[in-house]
């Protein structure tokens, strides 16, 4: 299997690798702007065939009830990815622009190892629960609760952490007994299409259980939300697109899981190590060019030490120059496309227009003629009502906002349409934990704790989404509950 070079990836439909009815489209290296190769460009016809294959595999085979087969297939896929991890690493750096250091964590190796959690959970899961005999309404009844697969799952994924998000849907959905159609973002088709190659060459997945559709047309992915043969849509992406997915799914009242945007706050309390906390916030906001929905992009600091906080953040962020993602020391690589680079620049321009200033960064690096790079940028002088404090930028941009004490810090953090993540730093761990408990978010980092793990649920409040991914809660998103009442003697 050749993962890089003059390469053309294909669709996986009903157990076969096939070309797309729409021809092909290019995938581009965001660090060099060079075309890496092409991917199969699916049409509505191809998506229809994939949905039909998934429907047939769920309805007409024993996949949904054969736990042993499901566990074996997931472990086979995991082993195939381990065996090809270096090729996958090169592919990920080239197509995603992911810094090499991150491929040892959430960009590749972490998600591959997380498949063990899916297989282990399915293997040991209590698929039925016996509630015993009771006499509701005077009728002696033996009650059982069964947990069953939902059916056909449509998974729609973004480009920023493709392996992590693809596998966080594929793993639990399949382990729970569903069949699946995966539609990745047009910017990173290979990261998904390679799963089709590994599945056909190295696993026992029956035909139709997994289908992978790459397409340059976002409307092809939208068909998953609209098609009555699809029982559930699992979507990760922007909040605006999430609204459209939810609206489309309403016509058939299918289950919709949404993992959406964020504008998370990093709260520094007045007793914290200010320089250390601000440095960590700056480092986090620069990682993978800020292309993470849960990255904390609002640094909320004591007003009395505002200038000191800005200086500390800028000292770190200004030193994290955007660079070649292939180099081991690179933290901030390119953003995914010219379109995304220009979008970020629009936000930076708005900060100046609203009266803000750049403590470092502010645009594309002057020393790079190619690649979609943005300098890590610290914005100062604005409040929480500024555009750059309200909207998700998805770039290496940190806005520093002043607070007037703990209650005000909590108010600022919660004054957002989003509620995905938050961080609190204080010398007093109990104080920090108390503040964290007041944040209306799905994940909280106290003094540098790490919430990302296969067994921890991930998701948000408010417009950051509906449901949870990963952990037992993420596995159970893909299950229905059936109550069975049998007359007892």
How do 35-40 and 24-28 pair as beta strands?
Answer: antiparallel
Measured distance CA(215)–CA(40) in Å, rounded: 7
Find the catalytic residue in 52, 197, 259, 311. Answer: 259
Which tokens is 58 given? 């769920």
User: Where do we find the tokens 């592919």?
Assistant: 91
Q: How far is CA 227 from CA 107, 230, 291, 410, 479, in A?
A: 31, 6, 31, 42, 20
Written as six digits, the tokens of 467 are 């449901």
pLDDT digits (tens, 9 = 90+) for 137-180: 999 999 999 999 999 999 999 999 999 999 999 999 999 999 99
Q: What is the largest CA-CA distance in the chain?
A: 82
Nearest to 470 by CA among 262, 298, 248, 294: 294
The tokens for 137 are 């309404």
Cα distance between residue 463 and residue 134, in whole Å: 42
* pLDDT the model gives residue 7: 81
Question: In degrees rounded to 5, what are phi and psi of residue 126?
Answer: -85, 90
Backbone angles phi, psi at 432, to 5 degrees: -60, -45
92 three-state secondary structure = helix
Whether 215 and 190 have beta carbons less than 8 Å apart is answered as no
Q: Can you give the pLDDT at residue 2?
A: 54
Query: CA separation (Å) from 312 to 111, 266, 388?
Result: 33, 14, 20
DSSP string, 363-404: SS-TT-SSS-----EEEES--TTSHHHHS---SSEEEEEEES
Instruction: For residue 311, indicate whether it is catalytic.
Output: no
| pTM greater than 0.95 (yes/no) | yes
Spell out where 245-304 has E strands: 255-259, 264-268, 296-302
Pairwise CA distance, residues 186 & 266, whole Å: 32
Low-confidence ranges of the chain (pLDDT < 70): 1-6
Give me the phi and psi of 369, to 5 degrees please. -90, -20
Q: Which letter does DSSP use for residue 350 in this model?
A: H
The helix (run of H) or strand (run of E) holding residue 195 is helix 189-202
- Pull the structure tokens for residue 10: 């294909």
Q: What is the pLDDT of residue 4?
A: 47
């Amino acid at each position: 299997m050749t993962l890089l070079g003059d390469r053309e990836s294909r669709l996986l439909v009903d157990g076969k690798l096939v070309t797309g009815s729409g021809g092909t489209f290019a995938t581009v290296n965001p660090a060099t702007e060079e075309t890496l190769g092409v991917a199969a460009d699916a049409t509505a016809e191809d998506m229809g065939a994939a949905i039909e294959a998934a429907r047939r595999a769920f309805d007409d085979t024993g996949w949904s009830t054969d736990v042993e087969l499901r566990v074996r297939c997931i472990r086979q896929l995991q082993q195939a990815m381990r065996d090809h991890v270096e090729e996958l690493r090169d592919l990920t750096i080239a197509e995603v622009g992911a810094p090499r250091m991150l491929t040892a964590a959430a960009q590749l190796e972490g998600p591959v190892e997380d498949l063990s959690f899916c297989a282990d959970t399915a293997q040991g899961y209590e698929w039925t629960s016996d509630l015993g005999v009771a006499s509701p309404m005077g009728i002696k009844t033996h009650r059982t609760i069964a947990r069953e697969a939902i059916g056909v799952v449509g998974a729609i994924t973004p480009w920023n952490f493709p392996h992590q998000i693809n596998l966080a849907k594929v793993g639990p959905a399949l382990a729970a007994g569903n069949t699946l159609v995966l539609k990745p973002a047009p910017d990173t088709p290979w990261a998904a299409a390679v799963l089709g190659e590994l599945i056909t060459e190295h696993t026992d997945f029956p035909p139709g259980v997994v289908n992978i559709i790459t397409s340059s047309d976002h409307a092809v992915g939208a068909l998953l939300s609209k098609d009555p043969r699809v029982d559930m849509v699992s979507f990760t992406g922007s909040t605006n697109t999430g609204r459209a997915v939810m609206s489309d799914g309403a016509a058939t009242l299918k289950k919709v899981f949404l993992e959406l945007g964020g504008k998370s706050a990093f709260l520094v309390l007045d007793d914290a190590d200010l320089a250390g906390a601000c440095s960590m916030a700056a480092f986090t906001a620069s990682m993978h060019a800020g292309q993470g929905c849960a990255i904390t992009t609002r640094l909320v600091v004591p007003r009395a030490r505002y200038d000191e906080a800005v200086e500390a953040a800028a000292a770190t962020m200004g030193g994290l120059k955007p660079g070649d993602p292939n180099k081991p020391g690179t933290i901030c690589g390119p953003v995914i496309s010219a379109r995304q680079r220009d979008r970020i620049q629009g936000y930076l321009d708005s900060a100046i227009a609203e009266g803000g200033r750049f403590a470092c960064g502010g645009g594309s690096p002057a020393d790079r003629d190619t690649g979609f790079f943005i300098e890590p940028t610290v914005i100062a002088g604005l409040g929480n009502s500024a555009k750059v404090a309200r909207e998700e930028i998805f770039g290496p941009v940190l806005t520093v906002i002043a607070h007037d004490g703990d209650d005000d810090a909590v108010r600022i953090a919660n004054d957002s349409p989003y509620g995905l993540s938050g961080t609190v730093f204080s010398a007093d761990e109990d104080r920090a934990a108390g503040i964290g408990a007041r944040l209306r978010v799905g994940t909280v980092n106290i003094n540098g704790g790490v919430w990302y793990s296969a067994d921890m649920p991930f998701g948000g409040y408010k417009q950051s989404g509906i449901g949870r991914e990963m952990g037992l809660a993420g596995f159970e998103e893909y299950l229905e509950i059936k109550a069975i009442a049998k007359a007892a003697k």
